[in-house]
Copies of this chain bind each other. A is one copy, B any other.
Amino acid sequence: MAFIESHRRSILKAFSWRLWATLTTIALVFLFTGRLKIAAAIGGLEVVLKLLLYFLHERAWNKIHYGKREITPFVLWFTGLPSSGKSTIADGVGKRLASLGLKVERLDGDKVREIFPKTGFSRDDRNLHIRRIGYLCSILEKNGICSIASFVSPYKESRNFVRDLTKNFIEIYVATPVEECERRDVKGLYKKARSGEIRQFTGIDDPYEAPENPELIIHTQNEPVHASADRVMAYLKQQKYIM
């Protein structure tokens, strides 16, 4: 949950703290010396001195960058054939990033198509769909929120549109070969495509234009999901997006 704390609350809280802290000092000095006047004088001076000290302390810490890190929001874009493993790896990365305290929005092709069931599979429909998701990512990025998108996104044109629209676009090509994807066939779609029940299926009767210069290529045949997710995290660390 997000809260806004008013200036008045902060000021009141600071005074409240100073009151109790200084009363403690006065009590301590009185306890040790038995002299109320000295205790009160120390307390009075303390209020002034500590307010000044607090200010200087804050200014000094402003110059110390230890433990302070600007968040550079980014767009992690997983592309690859159906059943290549995009969503599973993206889910893993999403959980890891959220546990680091980053604001993350997870966008998945299947889930978005559930909300927009009429989205077609023609080249134009797919390109427009990806462009619009990219626009969403760019607005999230502008607002300091990272997005993790997993979409087949088979065409270079719309992937590059998203790259241009966003600031920190990280294209991750999940390069599972089509034979392996068809063997997995998580949702039984390859079977339907082979039988002709569905058309325009990427990898069967619609082309997949592999990225030419992706930021990262993942070969899911050589490593388990958690290792792939770790490799994405390692890349983000290497690029200083995360620590």
Write the residues of chain A forming the contact surface with B, with a CB cutoff of 8 angstroms.
Answer: 1-10, 12-13, 16-17, 20-21, 24-25, 28-29, 32-33, 38, 41-42, 45-46, 49-50, 53-54, 57, 61, 66-71, 73, 101-103, 105, 112, 115-116, 118, 124, 128, 131-132, 135-136, 139-140, 142-145, 165
A69 and B139 contact, CB distance less than 8 A: no
Inter-subunit contact B9/A66 (CB<8 Å): yes
Contact among B17, B28, B54 with A57 in the assembled complex (CB-CB below 8 Å)? B17
**A105/B143 contact (C-beta < 8 A), A2-B71, A28-B46 known:** yes
15 A-B residue contacts at CB 8 Å? A2-B71, A3-B68, A4-B69, A4-B71, A4-B102, A5-B68, A6-B67, A8-B66, A8-B67, A9-B66, A12-B66, A21-B50, A32-B41, A115-B135, A139-B140
A166–B103 alpha-carbon span in the complex (Å): 19
Partner of A13, one of B17, B46, B61, B101: B61
The answer, among B2, B17, B50, for a CB contact under 8 Å with A144, is B2
